[in-house]
Amino acid sequence: MEIKKEIKQKTIKTKVSKKTITAIIILTIFLSSVFGAAFGFMSSQMADFVFSKVLNKDSDSKKETIIGKQKVIQEESAVIDVVEKASPAVVSIVITKDVPKFKNFFESPDDLDSLFEFFNRGWSNRQRQEEPETEKQKIGGGSGFIVSSDGMIVTNKHVVEDTEADYTVITGDGKEYSAKVLARHPSVDVAIIKIEGDNFPILELGNSDNLKIGQTAIAIGNPLGEFSNSVSRGIVSGLKRDLVAGSGWGRTERLSNIIQTDAAINPGNSGGPLLNISGQAIGVNVAMAQGAENIGFALPINEVKKTIQQVKDNGKISIPFLGVRYIILNKSIQKENDLPFDYGALVLRGEKITDLAVIPGSPADKAGIVENDIILEINGEKITEKNQLNDLIVKYSVGDEITLKIWHKGKEKEVKVKLEERK
């Protein structure tokens, strides 16, 4: 009995094991299908994620490329807009003059009499016998820009300084006009000329006091007197520069507080506008550095505005003057002459007996300024090598009253001076 019971129990256990196995198999199949689907979904999502990242990366790269191109296109478009807006008001100036017309001295290769006459009597004798014929020739060129609809044009003084020359203006549409010089500034390289007509396009004037180094600068002009309305582009490279400019003919001029740019400025660009990205004139191109590349200079437009307005209102340029002859002090002059200041304008007479230290009847004379006085400040601004007396005076107008701080006979004092027009 005991043996049979044991066998029965084993049989039952065996049967239970088979059911368990079957359940496990069914459960395994079920779970496999469930987790397989889940894993497949996750795998699909993972793949989508990976591919989306790759695609997005490629898309981002394309977007960056597009944005970069858009920036370049926008910047180029802005420059193109400036040129289209400003060019109609920019002009070329052609300088012509009657010059001697040289004939062929020898009538023919066999004209031995002329040959001996040349050696025996000389060319000067021949010239005295015959007045040379003249012919009108182009002797130079420059640029300018129109600032009034009735044809008033700004240019450089050195472009139109020859009083015996004729000046022709060629506008952007190719029309030619005879130009008359209205005014030449005596101390700044600016001149105003005029052509007859109306409804001329004008150039908007900007504010040169707000310029920042690095901002876009565009020059338009007539380089070499041959390539009218040529455009060059750069940046404002420097501000408040001081230099002495030479014409190549021995004439020099001190330029102060001017704009430096790397926009190409060449001979013939003189008098043309330097523009900002809004198409406004911020300067008048005036000079370039010899022996260097991409170093050009322009007069700040704010210093030209007053000249333009004076000519519009009065037909001339009125220049205020103080009426003293002076030298600017520095540490070296102070030390050599045992002076109390290393800045200011020391009032001194010139080498000639007629070169008086103070002009009789001038504003300085009326204010009691005498030789050996040192003018230290004008309206609170110190007079220095970079901020000279004349630079400060020209900021004011005829009739303005200014306050001078001076060192007079060992003491500092302030005097009021009313500026008068330079004759």
| Three-state DSSP string of 164-182 | CCEEEEECCCCCEEEEEEE
Per-residue confidence (pLDDT) for residue 422, from 0 to 100: 79
CA-CA distance, 159 to 144, in Å (whole number)? 9
Q: Domains of the chain by range and CATH?
A: 88-194 (2.40.10.10), 210-314 (2.40.10.10), 320-421 (2.30.42.10)
Q: Are 218 and 233 in contact (CB under 8 A)?
A: yes
The residue assigned the tokens 């549409």 is: 173
- Kindly report the backbone phi and psi dihedral angles of residue 385, in degrees, each rounded to the nearest multiple of 5, phi listed first: -60, -30
- CA distance readout (Å), 398 to 52, 190, 255, 326, 405: 75, 18, 22, 21, 20
Active site residue 189: yes
Closest listed residue to residue 220, CA positions, set 313, 322, 330, 296: 296
What the block records as the tokens of 84 is 């289209």
CA nearest neighbour of 184 among 230, 253, 250, 240: 253
SS3 32: helix
Q: How many degrees, rounded to 5, is the angle at CA 313 between CA 94 and CA 167?
A: 10
228 an active-site residue? no
Question: For every one of its 423 residues, what pLDDT tens digit does the chain have, with 9 covering 90 and above?
Answer: 444 444 344 444 444 455 555 555 555 555 455 444 444 544 455 545 444 554 455 555 555 555 555 555 666 788 899 999 999 999 999 999 987 775 554 444 445 454 444 444 554 555 555 556 778 888 889 999 999 999 999 999 999 999 999 999 999 889 999 999 999 998 889 999 999 999 999 999 999 999 999 999 999 998 877 788 889 999 999 998 988 776 554 556 778 889 999 998 888 899 999 999 999 999 999 988 877 778 999 999 999 999 999 999 988 888 898 999 999 999 999 999 999 999 999 999 988 888 899 999 999 999 999 999 999 999 999 999 888 898 899 889 899 999 999 999 999 999 999 999 877
Cα-atom radius of gyration of the chain, to the nearest Å?
41
DSSP bridge partners of 252:
246
Six-digit token string for 106:
């020898």
Annotated catalytic residue within 256, 270, 318, 362: 270
Q: Single out the catalytic residue among 87, 143, 158, 391.
A: 158
64-95 burial: b if 16+ Cβ within 10 Å, else e: eeeeeeeeeeeeeeebeebbebbbbbbbbbbb
Strands (E), 2-53: none
Residue pair 145/191 in contact by the 8 Å Cβ criterion: no
What pLDDT, on a 0 to 100 scale, did the predictor assign at position 294? Answer: 84
Query: What angle is formed at CA 292 by the lines to CA 291 and CA 296, rounded to 5 degrees?
Result: 115
Contacts of 123 (CB under 8 A, 6+ apart): 105
Is residue 174 within 8 Å of residue 229, measured between CB atoms?
Answer: no
How remote is the C-alpha of 64 from its chain's centroid?
33
Whether 158 is a known active-site residue: answer: yes
What pLDDT does 39 receive? 45
Looking only at the bridges linking them, the beta strands covering 166-170 and 401-408 are unpaired
Distance CA 271, CA 253 (A): 15
Strand, helix or coil at 398? coil
Nearest to 219 by CA among 209, 234, 237: 234
The one-letter code for the residue type at 62 is: K
DSSP secondary structure code for residue 270 in this structure: T
**For residue 130, what pLDDT is reported?**
56
Alpha-carbon distance of 346 to 350, in angstroms, equals 12
Catalytic residue among 87, 185, 189, 232: 189
The contacts of residue 202 (CB under 8 Å, 6+ apart) are 89, 146, 147, 148, 149
CA–CA distance, 339 with 345 (Å, rounded to integer): 12
Asked if residues 267 and 286 have their Cβ atoms less than 8 Å apart, the reply is no
Residue 66: the pLDDT is: 58
